[in-house]
Structure 1
């Protein structure tokens, strides 16, 4: 039950953003890619999802690079997500 609650909280954080673009992108990533992430990558994604949109958006669109190599991996996966 605890894992389900954590996933529901993460889903809430991914789909209730200030920017519609982030809602769509993070929500799609959560549904399609997140289940196949390694535990370390999943933790990095949670950290990214905890960021404010104005801090996260430059990382997502490539305007700013992440100094964390695992976050950089997750961001690369995130950039490849195509929103329906």
Structure 2
């Protein structure tokens, strides 16, 4: 007889342990990256979460301290402004002009929502 995980406490603990380990492995160990990732993925609108969070996920591995600082500064801006800069409907302030904004405008990092 097959017993499901929901009715088998040992199996449930084993599954919970596997899920927790995979979740912890996916988390960044760097506190600054954890903070940036959280802020990038929790913007306030679904569209901004996809855009800013997707951008972070695609590009953060190549960032040094100056790019992290620039991204953190950009996160202080309003979602509507960031979306407008990315789509090209508004010009970004001079302080954001450069490779990061160019990469943001490509929009090649946005994946289909789960």
In the alignment, what sits opposite 2:97?
72
- Give aligned pairs, total: 81
Of the two, which has the highest radius of gyration? 2
What is the root-mean-square deviation of aligned Cα atoms in Å? 2.0
Note the residue ranges of structure 1 that are not aligned, 5 or more in a row.
Answer: none
Q: Which has the higher contact order (CA 8 A, sep 6+)?
A: 1
CA distance in 2, matches of 1:72, 1:10: 20
CA contact (8 A) 1:65 1:72 kept: no
TM-score, normalisation: structure 1 = 0.75
TM-score, normalisation: structure 2 = 0.59
Note the residue ranges of structure 2 that are not aligned, 5 or more in a row.
Answer: 1-28
CA distance in 1, matches of 2:76, 2:57: 17
